[in-house]
Structure 1
């Protein structure tokens, strides 16, 4: 990069970091307030609170980064033009392509970071969040729940134990699960203990019965000597049951098992999440190029740029809203897959054509365009 290109890159890069930092902090704080009960009612430490809420940051970054890049490119170009620096650089021979180079370096860097977050960091963060919530539920049962009381762990799930024995053993365990309106389950056991098996937290019940009744069916009862319940199934439905598509690695989504009942019932969500991971970085490229196309041409201070800013903002909003709409269509059927990739690519191509329209018009008319450096 030349000296002027490095200067432009620093201005745009600083604007991007400031914008993405502020937007992420504001939205993260809003999300963190929803999980404040980790400290107030579940007795967790501040470190656990920050660990769980911090795992939202990669997914927030995926949505915020293209928007922050758009704002940063618009801000830096408007600042450079307001200080007459764009006019001076153009008069000194810097071509539109030369002006694009530092911005393209920033756009590609942000898109690459989005790809890294989307394909690897974000699913890993959701797995960490799921494991952390399972530990919270385990701690809640062993430390917070008081003996002799009926404790509502969540709507429809009641837990009770008579007293606590040596080594944290729970005596006289009772659990009522009616979260599903079509199914009622009652667990009774003489003893229970929280244990980790293969890295997962379980409550192991000993010497008891399970009574189940489906809607309109005859009640059934099963006796057991030992029965292990996965704690990930007893808690927020957001983190219970099988791994959600967003919690699985990209490799797992590329090679999912269609014979698995959960995968078969949620094939649309698997397809949508997989393609969204590959499409998301393209929106960073499109957003950055749209902002450059709108304000990349030098103008005097007497020429208004409000119309260009408003038009670019409207196009960027429509593009991103359209992307969210296509993401919903992906979950409904595979026919939307081409549109998922075509939408950001169309934005990129359209922005590129508009940004270099002054070079393309002579070519279309049969003339020959000569770059400023060669004149």
Structure 2
């Protein structure tokens, strides 16, 4: 790379990283405030709070990185235009391709980073978040649920106990699961205690009854001496079958027979896989659309502001269409072609605009004229 190319790359990279850190930080703080109940109602430590919110960072970065790249490229070439540096470069005979190269280099680097996050890091982070959620809820029962209070373990699931003995056992346990209004379960037991086995949390109830309302208005009652409840089943985030976003990319490519037989699950798996594979392409789209708008020397009279506005609208429209196409594939498998067609068409369209700019055409004409016969 020449000195000019390194200068453009350094300026664009600095702008991109600044935008990425600022945007990610603002959104992360917003998300973190929504999890503040971990420190209050759930009684967790600041370490658990930071770990839970930190696991959300990969998903934020994957979404924000193309936007930050787009803003960084626009800022860089708007600055070069505003300081008349592009005009000087053009007058000195600098090829437009030399300005495009650092843009492509940064775009490809962001593409690779986003691809690594969406394909490998995101499934791991989502899986860790679900495991941590289960731990928090189990820990909440064993250590932080207040005696004498009706504690919401999750939406529709209430937990209550009268007192805690010195050895940690719970006395006077009451639980009610109303998450499914058609199948309400009520547990009443004299005592209970939490257990850990093979990485799973359990609540063992002693000397109690299980009540389930019947259609006739009566309740079916089952008495028990010992009854063990898997706390994982009461977590909204943990299910017997992993959700698509928690599965590895290889698992999404090779769904089980049960997944293929379930039309709804098959649709969500297809949509998740396409989103992971196609999302990184928007980093290339972002860099090229921004360069197509401001990569050529412009004056204010030539509508630099109009070019920026047009580029922003174009990128928002392209990304919006991409999200819509990915969502559509849940129920319409044939829509998968649009998931690929939209970013590829946008990339080719931006390249066509770039190579049809007067400076590119003039430089190509000069090279053709000086080429030996």
TM-score (norm 1): 0.89
Q: Could you tell me how far apart the structure 2 residues matched to 1:128 and 1:155 are? A: 21
CA contact (8 A) 1:119 1:277 kept: yes
SS across alignment from 2:201: strand
The alpha-carbon deviation at position 169 of structure 1 amounts to 2.6
Q: Could you tell me how far apart the structure 2 residues matched to 1:216 and 1:116 are? A: 56
Q: Which residue of 2 aligns with 1:78?
A: 78
Q: Which runs of no fewer than 5 residues in structure 1 stay unpaired?
A: none
Q: Which residue of 1 aligns with 2:152?
A: 152
Matched, 1:353 2:355: no
Q: Which residue of 2 aligns with 1:106?
A: 106
Matched, 1:122 2:122: yes
The alpha-carbon deviation at position 137 of structure 1 amounts to 0.8
Q: Could you tell me how far apart the structure 2 residues matched to 1:210 and 1:254 are? A: 42
Q: Which residue of 1 aligns with 2:14?
A: 14
SS across alignment from 2:158: strand
CA contact (8 A) 1:359 1:369 kept: no
The alpha-carbon deviation at position 190 of structure 1 amounts to 4.4
| Cα pair distance change 1:97/1:372, threshold 3 Å | farther
The alpha-carbon deviation at position 260 of structure 1 amounts to 5.4
Q: Which residue of 2 aligns with 1:281?
A: 280
CA contact (8 A) 1:183 1:215 kept: no
Q: Which residue of 1 aligns with 2:88?
A: 88
Residues 85-142 of structure 1, C-alpha deviations (whole Å, 9 max, x = no match): 1122223232122111111110000011100111111121111111111121112111
SS across alignment from 1:183: coil
Q: What does residue range 161-180 of structure 1 map to in structure 2 within 5 Å? A: 161-165=161-165, 167-180=167-180
Q: What does residue range 151-230 of structure 1 map to in structure 2 within 5 Å? A: 151-165=151-165, 167-206=167-206, 208-213=208-213, 220-222=220-222, 226-230=226-230
Q: What does residue range 239-258 of structure 1 map to in structure 2 within 5 Å? A: 242-258=241-257
CA contact (8 A) 1:206 1:225 kept: yes
The alpha-carbon deviation at position 290 of structure 1 amounts to 0.5
| Cα pair distance change 1:229/1:22, threshold 3 Å | same
Point out the more displaced range, 215-224 or 29-38.
Answer: 215-224
Q: Could you tell me how far apart the structure 2 residues matched to 1:99 and 1:362 are? A: 15
The alpha-carbon deviation at position 223 of structure 1 amounts to 5.3
CA contact (8 A) 1:162 1:172 kept: yes
Q: Could you tell me how far apart the structure 2 residues matched to 1:232 and 1:94 are? A: 63
SS across alignment from 1:93: coil
SS across alignment from 1:42: coil
Q: Could you tell me how far apart the structure 1 residues matched to 2:206 and 2:95 are? A: 77
The alpha-carbon deviation at position 211 of structure 1 amounts to 3.2
Q: Which residue of 1 aligns with 2:30?
A: 30
CA contact (8 A) 2:96 2:359 kept: no
SS across alignment from 2:280: helix
Count of residue pairs brought into register by the alignment: 371
The alpha-carbon deviation at position 46 of structure 1 amounts to 1.1
Point out the more displaced range, 201-210 or 29-38.
Answer: 201-210
Q: What does residue range 296-375 of structure 1 map to in structure 2 within 5 Å? A: 296-300=295-299, 302-358=301-357, 370=367
Point out the more displaced range, 113-122 or 166-175.
Answer: 166-175
SS across alignment from 1:211: strand
Q: Could you tell me how far apart the structure 1 residues matched to 2:353 and 2:366 are? A: 16
TM-score (norm 2): 0.89
| Cα pair distance change 1:261/1:295, threshold 3 Å | closer
Q: Could you tell me how far apart the structure 2 residues matched to 1:163 and 1:249 are? A: 43
Q: Could you tell me how far apart the structure 1 residues matched to 2:102 and 2:369 are? A: 17
Q: Which residue of 1 aligns with 2:294?
A: 295
CA contact (8 A) 2:259 2:266 kept: no
CA contact (8 A) 1:242 1:262 kept: no
The alpha-carbon deviation at position 31 of structure 1 amounts to 1.2
Q: Could you tell me how far apart the structure 2 residues matched to 1:296 and 1:26 are? A: 29
SS across alignment from 1:168: coil
CA contact (8 A) 1:6 1:102 kept: yes
Q: Could you tell me how far apart the structure 1 residues matched to 2:260 and 2:158 are? A: 28
SS across alignment from 2:184: strand
| C-alpha RMSD over aligned residues | 2.9
CA contact (8 A) 2:55 2:125 kept: yes
